[in-house]
Amino acid sequence: MAELPQRQRKISDPDEDPTEVARQIVRIVDLPKGHRPFRVYIDPMHNGAEEVFELGDRIRTEFYTRSGLGALLSPAPRSQLPRRAGVRYARPGFS
């Protein structure tokens, strides 16, 4: 197990850029509301993580839909959120 980092370096792309994560964050934040993806995959080692996560997402979607809980798979508009007594809600544009 101690040799794992060395093995990973051997299969890594020497041109991979760790700032790619920051670039993807900026890209997503800049997208208009309603167009931001639920999940983004950055897999510079190409170890199959993207395929595994996509499979999990597909199975989760099918399960929630089959269970009648498909509405939980996308965010609800603020106007549809339940209001609770004693809870202060932030107004858009204010911190």
Cα 13 to Cα 9, 66, 91, distances in angstroms: 8, 41, 45
Rounded to whole angstroms, the Cα distance separating 87 from 7 reads 51
Are 49 and 43 within 8 A, CB to CB? Answer: yes
Predicted confidence at residue 93, as pLDDT, reads 56
Q: Is the pTM of this model over 0.75?
A: no
* Burial label, 64 (beta-carbon count in 10 A; 0-12, 13-18, 19+): middle
Token representation of residue 59:
């199975």
For 20-75, the pLDDT digits (tens) are 889 999 999 999 987 888 888 887 777 888 899 899 999 999 999 999 999 888 87
